[in-house]
Each structure stands twice: as C-alpha cells, then as structure tokens.
C-alpha cells in the first residue's frame, strides 16, 4: 500500500487522534514551560514549605529577591513549587521516552536485519539477546545507572538496552518472513546487492510494526524513568522529573498527597496517550487487525 493512502487511514483513526493530540499537548507544555506561569523549578523558600494547592506564598529567586507566587499544586517540604516542577518534568519524561525509543529501534533494527539476513550471525546474536532478556529490565537499568551516575544520557541508554532484544526479535522475525517474498527474490534475480535489498525492500516493509513497537517502548521508557527516579537511582533528586517529585512527596504522602498526586496524573495521562496512539497505529497499519474491525 502506498504511504499516502496509509497515512490517510491512520489519521482517520480515533485512537490515533486522541493519543496524538494528548502527546502534542504534552510536547507543547514541555516546550512552552517557561511561559506557563512557572518559576525556576529549583527555587525554594523556607517560608513556603508544604503549602496546599492554590495557596500563595513567597519564593526566593537565585538573585535573592523574594517574590509573591501562587502555588497551583502546592509546594514540597523544601518550599519548591510543584506546578513548576511537574511542568518542567514533562521535558525530561518526553525526551527520555522518545530518545529511548529511537535508540532501541536503531540498534534493534541493525541487529535484527543482520540476524535475519546473515544466517551465520543469527545464532550468536540471538543467544546474546536471549541473555539480555533473561535479566529483568529494571534490574539492568538500575545496575547501569548505578555504574555510570545519573544523567539523561545514561538513563536513556540504561532503559534502551533491555529493550533492544525485543526490537531485534521483532525485526528478525519480520525479515525472515519478508525475505521469502517473491519481490525480494525478484530483486535477487535482478542482481540487487544485499545492502540495497535490506534497506530498500525489507526495511521499508517492516516499518509499520516497528512504529507500533516504538510507541510501546516510548511509554515503557517514560514509566521506567519515573520508577528509577522514584527509587532514587535515576536522575539526581534536584532535577525535576515526575519520579523525583513523587519520591520527594512519598514521606508525607498521608498529610500532603498532592506531592504524589499531580506528577502521578501527568505520568498516567502521558503513558496512556502513548499507548492509545500505539493501539491505534496497530489497528490501522496491521492488515490482519484492519480486516477484523
């Protein structure tokens, strides 16, 4: 099917529309964070600790000035504005989610293509992937971040590594099917070099399932990043991420639930939106699903 026609069908799907609009909204929020009535998320004020949502209080800027500020979502035990931290946290979550998905897809596609087309490499590469899959994803991520110190790059790499075997397996299985297609055999008979067959014939026909896998990886990465931060093994606690905010608020959850509640809502909505988008993509791109609808 031609790309244009496919995109049209994708754009008409309700799940895709809902998921994509929520994600677009989140991206807008992330980009426009400084102009959404926020203050620098690292600012704190000893006088404004543990404020309830909607209360006003003082906040001290880096220059030492004291400003009046309305704490829309309350403040934490250091007197930081939770609203600002949640909004800025969107940036971290989206960057981690998208970067992880892209990294896992890129490496997974490379390994999958090699494994599916070069038979001698298949056994070695796939046993290695099996090895990675045998270790729980979170455990690998925790170990790697602990090893490298928390930064966006290490977190992304740490979450991507356990995802790579999944993508590799998917690509390999697709390659094994597509390489038997007559159009690939025709290309062989036409003297097309292996490299061109892989990237010109096989990979473009793997794209639909990969796109779906990518969305699920993205959602998973956002969750894992929050989990790592919550466990205190992700990004340093002063970086505003949803997981860090929740970890911070955990100690006084009973008296001040908003510390956990608001970042939790953002996390849940974002992950849900990405998953809905993925479901919609699968429904429209997978011919087997399309027939059933």
Partner 1 sequence: MNVLDIHDLSIALPPGAERAEAVSKVSFNVGRGEIVCLVGESGSGKSVIAQSVMGLLPKTLRVAAGTISLLDENITLAKESRLRQLRATRMSMVFQEPMTALNPVMRCGDQIDEVLRFHSDLSLMQRKTRILDIIREVALPDPERIIASYPHQLSGGQRQRIVIAMALVLEPALLIADEPTTALDVTTQAQILKLILELQKRHGTGVLFITHDFGVVAEIAHRVAVLRLGELVELGARDEVLKRPRHEYTRMLIGAVPTLKPHGRAVAPDAALVLETRGLAKTYSERGWFGPAREVRAAQDVNLQLRRGQTLGIVGESGSGKSTVARCIVRLIDPSAGEVRIAGADIATLGARALRPLRRKVQIVFQDPYRSLNPRRTVGEAIIEGPLNYGTPRAEALERARRLLDLVRMEASALERYPHQFSGGQRQRICIARALAMEPELLVADEAVSALDVSVQAQVLQLLEEIRTRLDLAMLFITHDLRVAAQVCDQVAVMSKGRVVEYGPAEQIFLRPQHEYTQALFEAAPGRGFAFGTASAST
Cβ proximity to partner 1, 187 vs 210, nearer residue = 187
Q: Does 64 bind partner 1 (CB under 8 A)?
A: no
Q: Does 288 bind partner 1 (CB under 8 A)?
A: no
Cβ proximity to partner 1, 3 vs 255, nearer residue = 3
Q: Does 1 bind partner 1 (CB under 8 A)?
A: yes
Q: Does 134 bind partner 1 (CB under 8 A)?
A: no
Task: List the one residue from 8, 58, 130, 181 that touches partner 1 (CB under 8 A).
Answer: 181
- 268 in Cβ contact with 226 (< 8 Å): no
Q: Does 193 bind partner 1 (CB under 8 A)?
A: yes
Q: What is the rounded (10 degree) CA torsion for 60, 61, 65, 67?
A: -60
Q: Does 10 bind partner 1 (CB under 8 A)?
A: no
- Which residues within the stretch 196-225 sit at the binding site for partner 1 (CB under 8 A)? 196, 200-201, 204-205
Shortest Cβ 246–partner 1 spacing (Å)? 44
- If DSSP states are collapsed to H, E and C, what string results for the chain? CCHHHHHHHHHHCHHHHHHHHHHHHHHHHHHCHHHCCCCCCCCCCHHHCCCCCCEEEEEECCCCCEEEEEECCCECCCCCEHHHHHHHHHHHHHHHHHHHHHHHHHHHHHHHHHHHHCHHHHHHHHHHHHHHHCCCHHHHHHHHHHHHCCCHHHHHHHHHHHHHHHHHHHHHHHHHHHCCCHHHHHHHHCCCCHHHHHHHHHHHHHHHHHHHHHHHHHHHHHHHHHHHHHHCCCCCCCCCCHHHHHHHHHCCCCCCCHHHHHHHHHHHHHHHHHHHHHHHHHHHHCHHHHHHC
Backbone angles phi, psi at 35, to 5 degrees: -100, 15
- 70/51 Cα distance (integer angstroms): 10
- 87/93 Cα distance (integer angstroms): 10
Q: Does 182 bind partner 1 (CB under 8 A)?
A: yes
Q: Does 123 bind partner 1 (CB under 8 A)?
A: no
Task: List the one residue from 187, 221, 223, 233 that touches partner 1 (CB under 8 A).
Answer: 187
Task: List the one residue from 186, 265, 289, 290 that touches partner 1 (CB under 8 A).
Answer: 186
Q: Does 147 bind partner 1 (CB under 8 A)?
A: no
Site stretch for partner 1 (CB under 8 A), options 127-135, 168-176, 188-196, 210-218: 188-196
Cβ proximity to partner 1, 146 vs 186, nearer residue = 186
Shortest Cβ 129–partner 1 spacing (Å)? 21
Site stretch for partner 1 (CB under 8 A), options 105-113, 136-144, 181-189, 221-229: 181-189
Q: Does 191 bind partner 1 (CB under 8 A)?
A: yes
Site stretch for partner 1 (CB under 8 A), options 48-56, 67-75, 90-98, 179-187: 179-187
Q: Does 185 bind partner 1 (CB under 8 A)?
A: yes
Residues that bind partner 1 (CB under 8 A): 1-3, 181-183, 185-193, 196, 200-201, 204-205
């Amino acid at each position: 099917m031609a790309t244009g026609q496919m995109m049209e069908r994708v754009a008409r799907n309700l799940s895709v529309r809902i998921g994509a609009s929520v994600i677009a909204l989140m991206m807008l929020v992330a980009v426009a964070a400084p102009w959404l009535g926020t203050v620098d998320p690292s600012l704190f004020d000893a006088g404004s600790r543990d404020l309830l949502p909607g209360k006003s209080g003082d906040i001290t800027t880096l220059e030492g000035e004291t400003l009046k500020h309305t704490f829309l979502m309350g403040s934490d035990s250091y007197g930081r504005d939770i609203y600002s931290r949640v909004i800025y946290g969107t940036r971290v979550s989206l960057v981690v989610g998208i970067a992880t998905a892209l990294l896992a897809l890129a490496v997974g596609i490379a390994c999958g293509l090699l494994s599916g087309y070069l038979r001698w490499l298949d056994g070695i590469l796939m046993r290695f992937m099996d090895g990675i899959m045998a270790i729980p994803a979170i455990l690998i991520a925790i170990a790697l971040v602990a090893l490298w110190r928390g930064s966006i790059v290490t977190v992304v790499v740490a979450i991507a590594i356990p995802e790579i075997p999944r993508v590799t397996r998917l690509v390999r299985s697709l390659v094994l099917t597509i390489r038997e297609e007559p159009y690939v055999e025709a290309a062989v008979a036409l003297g097309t070099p292996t490299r061109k067959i892989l990237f010109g014939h096989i990979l473009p026909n793997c794209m639909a399932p990969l796109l779906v896998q990518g969305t699920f990886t993205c959602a998973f990465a956002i969750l894992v990043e929050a989990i790592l931060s919550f466990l205190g093994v992700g990004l340093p606690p002063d970086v505003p991420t949803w997981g860090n905010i929740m970890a911070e608020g955990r100690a006084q959850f009973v008296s001040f639930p908003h510390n956990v509640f608001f970042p939790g809502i953002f996390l849940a909505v974002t992950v849900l939106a990405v998953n809905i988008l993925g479901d919609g993509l699968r429904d429209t791109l997978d011919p087997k699903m399309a027939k059933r609808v």
